[in-house]
Structure 1
Amino acid sequence: MSEQSPQPEQKPWMIYGANGYTGELIAREAARRGYKPILAGRSPGKIQALADELGLGTMAFSLDNVEQATRQIKGMSLVLNCAGPFSATAEPMMNACIAARANYLDITGEIAVFELSQSLSDKARSAGIVLCPGVGFDVIPTDCVAASLKAALPDATHLALGFDSRSGFSPGTAKTSVEGLAQGGKVRRDGKIVTVPLAYEVRRIDFGDGEKEAMTIPWGDVSTAYHSTGIPNIKVFIPGSPRMIKSAQKANYLRPLLGIKFVQKLIKARIAKTVKGPDEATREKMPTFVWGEATNSRGEKKTARIRTANGYSLTITGSLAVIEHLMENQHTGGAYTPSTLVGAELVARLPESGELVIQ
């Protein structure tokens, strides 16, 4: 992790969902840097031990009642929401933050959450607070690549993004992925988000570690890259083996079954018992390769690549970089993406990132 000296804090801030895999990693690094976030979540017992170990304060509340949550958040300068699935937590927390006049950040990759933040932009502007979901691996690297490609090819009409990551899933990410399978694939076409089959398009891509077969996925940039760049046609890819791609395409036939709440509940209960996030040694061995390609109506093309830290490690340093930015800078209220809030150079400044190269 970086050896940054902590900046002075004007107001307290909160990590909600600090007992989760990623929330705990961020809390530990924040404490190592000398910060004193309030650790919060639904269950006091699950966060108290961590808070005692790190010498931090705690708060326990659910998001079932926005008014009650607002009272708990009152006085905070910002809330970093790490409690997934964000399909359940983002809306009440965003509304509570708007009411409490606290900046809202989270580490989601869910398209619906990004679109929600944009729909609440006017309310956030009136309250004078920032809404910026996606301040982790979802979606800092790809969002910065998108913004950089827009600068390199201002009249781009089509944008393809992707990443090659060998990270394992945390329980929260795995649960979110199950929800995503039920909703099908997503791309942006002529400015509109449309539903398409899973693994809708397959092509060969060199993400930075050799050419590989890759398939489209419903990643958050289908929302955020549009709001960052205005490019109307967007797809996101990850590499996959022929077997993995074929399995994703077969899953299209199971989507009605996966959408049943009872089935979702069973799968998520299984995930909670069996899925553990990667440990530090594993994360350090697994860099991520991020790629983007912008094309204009004349067929001109620009390609961008950058190597970054493992997704979970980048989420730790990326979220704290955005928090530090908000501590040091004032922004007009409203909905932002990481690149519109901090700048397209954010990803290249993070530990273990290489140079962002555009050709």
Structure 2
Amino acid sequence: MFLDVSHLVVQYPGRARPAVQDVSFGLAAGEIGVLIGPSGCGKTTLLRCVAGLEPAQAGEIRLSGECVSAPGVQLPAEQRRIGMVFQDYALFPHLDVGRNVGFGLQALPRAERAARVAEVLALVGLEGAERRAPHELSGGQQQRVALARALAPRPRLMLLDEPFSNLDVELRERLAHEVREILKAAGATALFVTHDQLEAFAIGDAVGVMHEGRLHQWADAHTLYHRPATRFVADFIGHGVFAPARLARAGGRAVIETPLGPLNGAVAAQAAALPDGPLDLLLRADDVVYDADAPVKAELVRKAFRGAEFLYTLRLASGETVLAHVPSHCEHRIGEWIGVRPALERVVAFPRGG
């Protein structure tokens, strides 16, 4: 692995619980990893430790096989050849774009420095912007200048700490796709921190979900969504609710009884590793389908228009709440009872209380 984090522990003085607890993951050269989780989960502390800004109390961090952090080992940040991009851009307002981008290239001859500045500005789609002032640029353009500045010295690792948090939602997702293309074109290995799932899925080859200092799962977005390793990951990724269910086996066949009706056959067989008995079954909005002829009815208690579809919040007669995506041409009134049925292709369930 190009970046190898092994059993890392970061402990702040005076705090009972480590900010980072026994975290391990790796990135191959050219891969983009993303750390995601609620505020205070330890993702930024982990990023700072990789950068050399926080010491490790246990475990180690290796870059290209070199140990840069471990108990008693702390390679200074300036010697790690790491590029960093922050949420506030940190551009120098008194310097034009060219001098901002070339700030870390002072050791190069002037002509070589100018060529590298032009090269990375072209890479981020800002050709010919060398003489412009930062305040003349939009927020998205300023963030691309910050990215160009970090890439200019050819770092062996890029770290990005919530770089789009100051931008509006639509621009954030678009810029995430653009930054991924830029990093891939540069052949950069990068570790990215965000609290936004859409950003994480747009930019990451691998995504790590953190909670209370622990890394619950490190996988691609599809795996996180469809095969979450823990109940926290299942609850955190996507939109869904846990509903009470029961698994039973008879004659070698599994049946899962749910508030929406039974699941059996190949779908129920996915629960083979679970014990018989009560389950908490994750039902996401795409697992519940509107069907006027379905025997199970639910009351519409809330709806959110999403353009091509509504997101319905529904209450079953048994009291459970479920979510459903319903085409926008099938509009219903609040308080109306509609038919719904399960349409699960994958079972995500945990033993009740587990």
Q: TM-score, normalised by structure 2?
A: 0.30
Hey, which of these two has a bigger chunk of strand by percent? 2
Choose between structure 1 and 2 for higher RCO, CA contacts under 8 A separated by at least 6 residues.
1
Hey, which of these two has a bigger chunk of helix by percent? 1
Q: Which structure would you say has the larger Rg?
A: 2
